[in-house]
Amino acid sequence: MQPPFPINSLASLLRADPHRENLARRRQTALWQHQKPDAWPIVFNAPLTTDQENIPVPNFHDAFYNQELMLCSQFRAACAIVNARADGVPSIRVNFGTGVCLSCLGLEQEIFPDKMPWLRQHLTRDQIARLTPDDIKNQGTFSRGLEFMRCFRQIMGDSLPIYCMDTQGPFDLAHLIMGDDLFYELHEDPAFVHHLMEIALALGIKTHTWMKEIIGEPLAAHHHTGILYAENMGIRICEDTTTLLSPKDIREFAIPCTQRLAQHFGGAWVHYCGRNDHLTRAICELPEIRAINFGHIPGHEHDHPFEQDMALIHESGKVYFGRWPRRPDESGRDYLRRLHSWAAKGSLFPSGNEAVGPHDFPDVFTARDFWYSL
């Protein structure tokens, strides 16, 4: 079958500036290690060039089954980071959804054209009770994802790093394995849940190790999200399901395995959607966690109190990584000033595109330069 696009020409369309990327790497490395960089880093996206706009935009279904289309969809996002000439370090991944690791236990996701894959299969209680770490196999969609990663690396060479597929954290993986019945077991059979958590932890360790072997990435360093680069942490951990737990269950079932996963990979950063202040405090207490990121849910963008959460993150010696929503009637300049007040304390690595609008800055480059002038 003919490729949908001259795929080997992608690297020439990246328009990367090695000096600029090395500067971004140095700034991020300094930030994660609590050193002062020459300028506090920020991420922007910039518009694509005409040639880059011609790169195909596949739907989720087509990209899932075609590695060249998957590469095209990921490459477009990397171009937007490169074009901004700010402090994001571009990278790409195989985007197979949050349930990709579960294929290592024989569970497969449903695939859709208009939304991300979703896992509806689960194991029964009896099946889980019989599981051991030896039952985790490199198979199914996960194995195919590794082949996609090999293909990406072969095509892109050293021009664009590849980062790990979506992996989730131990409690999220436990929820994916068992489904909502897990919440009953928390109180009916805690010993069973601890067994399940050990399986989920082993799943996280094995799958990340297999992926890092493919991309040649050290255990304790990584690229992620298309913009992050770190030399003192090797993994992102998601705690979306953990936000539904009580403080007691957070500390008994989730946090110990999260800490062990982070330790195995020399440190981690944590993401979750939804507000749970008990979880935030528990995460901030872990010395292995370098950064935290909240998913700001549409319609609830301001549920996280900015000053309160940033004060906790700063006092805990962590960094907030990612987007903060702009306040109503806040100018782009005031928005960037508000973010910079925390970035200058070494506690925030933000995305600045919310500041760019018709009444704020003419383009991302003007906004970027304003940030550096603060």
Q: pLDDT tier at 299 (50, 70, 90 boundaries)? A: confident
CA distance 171 to 191: 15
Q: What is the pLDDT of residues 49-105, one digit of tens each?
A: 999 999 999 999 999 999 999 999 999 999 999 999 999 999 999 999 999 999 999
**Which pLDDT score is estimated for 68?**
94
Q: What is the count of structural domains for the chain?
A: 1
CA angle 295, 314, 351 (to 5 degrees): 40
Residue 298 lies in a domain: yes
| Residue 1: inside a domain | no
Average pLDDT over every residue of 307-320: 98
Domain assignment present for 266: yes
Q: Give the global pTM.
A: 0.96
Q: Is 128 helix (H, G, I), strand (E, B) or coil?
A: helix
- Give the H/E segment covering residue 348: strand 348-350
Q: Which residues contact 347 (CB under 8 A, 6 or more apart)?
A: 310, 313, 314, 318, 319, 320
Euclidean distance between CA atoms 269 and 92, whole angstroms: 18
Give the relative orientation of helices 170-178 and 255-264 as an angle to the nearest 10 degrees: 120
Q: Is residue 222 part of a domain?
A: yes
More confident call, 193 vs 297? 193
- Give the pLDDT band (50/70/90) at residue 244: very high
Say what the pLDDT of residue 2 is: 43
**Token match 């993401």: residue?**
271
For residue 221, give Cα distances in angstroms to 11, 19, 217.
24, 21, 7
Tokens of 365: 């480059």
Query: What CATH number is associated with residue 182?
Result: 3.20.20.210
Q: 368 is in which domain, residue-wise?
A: 7-373
Residue % of the chain over a pLDDT of 90 = 94
Residue 79 domain-assigned (yes or no): yes
pLDDT digits (tens, 9 = 90+) for 121-180: 999 999 999 999 999 999 999 999 999 999 999 999 999 999 999 999 999 999 999 999
- Identify whether 2 is part of a domain: no
Residue 371 and residue 348: Cα distance in Å, rounded? 13
Residue with tokens 């920020």: 42
Is 194 a domain residue? yes
* pLDDT of 1 strictly over 70: no
Confirm whether 350 is domain-assigned: yes
Task: Give the pLDDT band of residue 298 (cuts 50, 70, 90).
Answer: confident
